[in-house]
């Protein structure tokens, strides 16, 4: 029997889950839930109902894993514990500093309900976290580096849009190539924030707004831009729509470490992602962990997990025998 998947929250990730489920032979999408009026939410798949979130309890025995696709800022801190009391759930919570408290709230709800929850699944946190842990375990004497981009930062784009006189904006985070090369060479450099990433902004102004004032305000914005080399381009709404509406992203996790009695040998571990679509990649990871959640639940496990707690063999459609024969 196929694993029955529900989607809760239908934004970029919600759509991505639909595509990823289609690729999985062992899964089927059974329903999509939204806080909006379902009549106003059109999904990509035919013959799958869109329901209001208030009806979700009726689906308790009809869904094996609910994939929570709400935003990390305000949706998931509430929704993941709430729905872990009814379903096995997966989320992509990415506020790194708040993961421990989110874990505690979800773990309590899932344990009480006898369900499995997997939180902070995606690429960062997610695949990058896994690679940081593998690399640290293997090279205890070393240094970690994470570079992001080139890709759109939603938070930084929002920060520019809040400036008076700005109509619309997109911000790209770009790793500094020379810093990447220094890390890859095994130099183990101490890098400042400014040396690691630069920021490129594409801004559409309101009529009559002063470009120089807006540019100054962007470049001097504390936390967001003042610690970076920032370039600002002013463009038209049409150009923004045509050239900057994609959702590409990516990055690099690198650990550089030494071994040998006199630390004479250097090793570099590098994991890199170049993603055409951030949400479609993130949801591909979510689907693999949904498969694991179902298996863990079937084994009688309960409570909250992260990607660090789940063995790779649980993620794939392949049997253990096939894995040993082909991927080991
Ligand atoms: P969206 O803003 O597209 O969607 C978030 C929620 O907003 C949806 O679940 C939906 O809920 C609601 N929504 C979406 N579209 C509309 C609309 N037109 N009108 C009103 N409400 C709408 O966010 P994303 O899907 O892009 O991302 C979700 C989260 O995923 C992010 O907050 C981010 O933190 C996380 N993420 C994590 C990654 C990782 O590597 N761990 C990578 C990428 C993202 P509803 O249907 O109930 O209205």
| Pocket of ligand 1 from Cβ distances under 6 Å | 9-14, 34-36, 69-72, 92, 94, 122-126, 278-279, 282
Do residues 94 and 21 share a domain?
A: yes
- Edge to edge, the sheet with strand 142-148 lists 142-148, 249-259, 265-275
Q: What pTM, to 2 d.p., does this model score?
A: 0.95
pLDDT (tens digit, 9 = 90+) per residue, 110-155? Answer: 999 999 999 999 999 999 999 999 999 999 999 999 999 999 998 8
Name the residue range of residue 117's domain: 3-124+279-327
Could you count the other beta carbons within 10 Å of the beta carbon of residue 133? 12
Q: What CATH number did the domain enclosing 305 receive?
A: 3.40.50.720
Do residues 285 and 271 share a domain?
A: no
CB half-sphere exposure, 299, CA atoms < 13 A: 11
Residue with CA closest to ligand 1 atom 28: 71
Do residues 271 and 137 share a domain?
A: yes
Do residues 322 and 218 share a domain?
A: no
Residues whose CB is less than 8 angstroms from the CB of residue 161 and which lie 6 or more positions away in sequence, other chains included: 168, 169
User: Per the structure block, which two tokens stand in for 97?
Assistant: 């500093």
Do residues 118 and 135 share a domain?
A: no
Q: Does the annotation flag 180 for ligand binding?
A: no
Tokens 């990516």 correspond to: 250
Do residues 74 and 182 share a domain?
A: no
pLDDT (tens digit, 9 = 90+) per residue, 146-204? Answer: 999 999 998 899 999 999 999 999 999 999 999 999 999 999 999 999 999 999 999 99
Residues whose CB is less than 8 angstroms from the CB of residue 246 and which lie 6 or more positions away in sequence, other chains included: 152, 276, 277
Q: Does the annotation flag 69 for ligand binding?
A: yes
Do residues 264 and 151 share a domain?
A: yes
Q: Does the annotation flag 234 for ligand binding?
A: no
230 forms bridges with which residues in the sheet?
A: 199
Residue with CA closest to ligand 1 atom 6: 70
Local confidence pLDDT in tens for the 328 residues of the chain: 999 999 999 999 999 999 999 999 999 999 999 999 999 999 999 999 999 999 999 999 999 999 999 999 999 999 999 999 999 999 999 999 999 999 999 999 999 999 999 999 999 999 999 999 999 999 999 999 999 999 999 889 999 999 999 999 999 999 999 999 999 999 999 999 999 999 999 999 999 999 999 999 999 999 899 999 999 999 999 999 999 999 999 999 999 999 999 999 999 999 999 999 999 999 999 999 999 999 999 999 999 999 999 999 999 999 999 999 999 9
Q: Does the annotation flag 36 for ligand binding?
A: yes
Overall domain count for the chain:
2
Q: What CATH number did the domain enclosing 135 receive?
A: 3.30.360.10
Domain stops at, among 260, 276, 292: 276
Question: Ligand 1 atom closest to Cα of 123?
Answer: 40
Do residues 143 and 268 share a domain?
A: yes
Question: Ligand 1 atom closest to Cα of 127?
Answer: 40
Question: Ligand 1 atom closest to Cα of 9?
Answer: 9
Question: What secondary structure, in 3-state letters, does 172-227 show?
Answer: EEEECHHHHHHHHCCCCCCCCHHHHEEEEEEEEECCCCCHHHHHHHHHCCCCCCCC
CA 75 to ligand 1 center in whole angstroms: 9
For residues 68 and 33, what is the distance between their CA atoms, to the nearest angstrom?
10
Question: Ligand 1 atom closest to Cα of 15?
Answer: 25
Do residues 119 and 142 share a domain?
A: no
Residue with CA closest to ligand 1 atom 18: 11
Residues whose CB is less than 8 angstroms from the CB of residue 310 and which lie 6 or more positions away in sequence, other chains included: 118, 289, 292, 296
Do residues 251 and 135 share a domain?
A: yes
Which among 71, 287, 306 is the best mutation to test ligand 1's pocket, defined by most ligand atoms within 8 Å of the CB?
71
Complex confidence, ipTM: 0.98
CA 14 to ligand 1 center in whole angstroms: 7
Do residues 166 and 229 share a domain?
A: yes
Do residues 190 and 312 share a domain?
A: no
For residues 158 and 156, what is the distance between their CA atoms, to the nearest angstrom?
5
């Amino acid at each position: 029997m196929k694993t029955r998947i529900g989607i809760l929250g239908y934004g970029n990730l919600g759509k991505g889950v639909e595509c990823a489920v289609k690729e999985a032979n062992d899964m089927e999408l059974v329903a999509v839930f939204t806080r909006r009026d379902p009549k106003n939410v059109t999904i990509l798949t035919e013959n799958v109902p869109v329901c209001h979130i208030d009806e979700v309890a009726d689906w308790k025995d009809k869904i094996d894993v609910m994939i929570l696709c709400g935003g990390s800022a305000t949706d998931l801190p509430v929704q993941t514990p709430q729905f872990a009391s009814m379903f096995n759930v997966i989320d992509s919570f990415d506020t790194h500093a708040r993961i421990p408290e989110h874990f505690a709230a979800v773990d309590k709800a899932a344990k009480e309900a006898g369900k499995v929850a997997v939180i902070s699944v995606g690429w960062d946190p997610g695949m990058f976290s896994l690679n940081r842990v593998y690399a640290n375990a293997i090279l205890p004497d070393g240094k970690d580096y994470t570079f992001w981009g080139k890709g759109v930062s939603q938070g930084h784009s929002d920060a520019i849009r809040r400036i008076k006189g700005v109509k619309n904006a997109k911000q790209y985070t770009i790793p500094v190539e020379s810093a990447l090369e220094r890390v890859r060479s095994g130099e183990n450099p101490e890098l400042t924030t400014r040396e690691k990433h630069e920021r490129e902004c594409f801004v559409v102004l309101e009529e009559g707004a002063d470009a120089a004032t807006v540019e100054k305000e962007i470049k001097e914005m504390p936390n967001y831009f003042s610690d970076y080399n920032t370039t600002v381009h002013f463009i038209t709404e049409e150009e923004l729509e045509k050239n900057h509406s994609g959702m590409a992203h990516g990055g690099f996790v690198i650990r550089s470490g030494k071994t040998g009695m006199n630390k004479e040998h250097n090793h570099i571990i590098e994991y890199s992602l170049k993603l055409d679509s951030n949400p479609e990649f993130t949801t591909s990871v979510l689907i693999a962990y949904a498969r694991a959640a179902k298996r863990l639940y079937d084994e009688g496990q309960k409570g909250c997990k992260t990607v660090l707690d789940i063995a790779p063999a649980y993620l794939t459609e392949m049997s253990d025998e096939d894995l040993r024969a082909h991927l080991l």
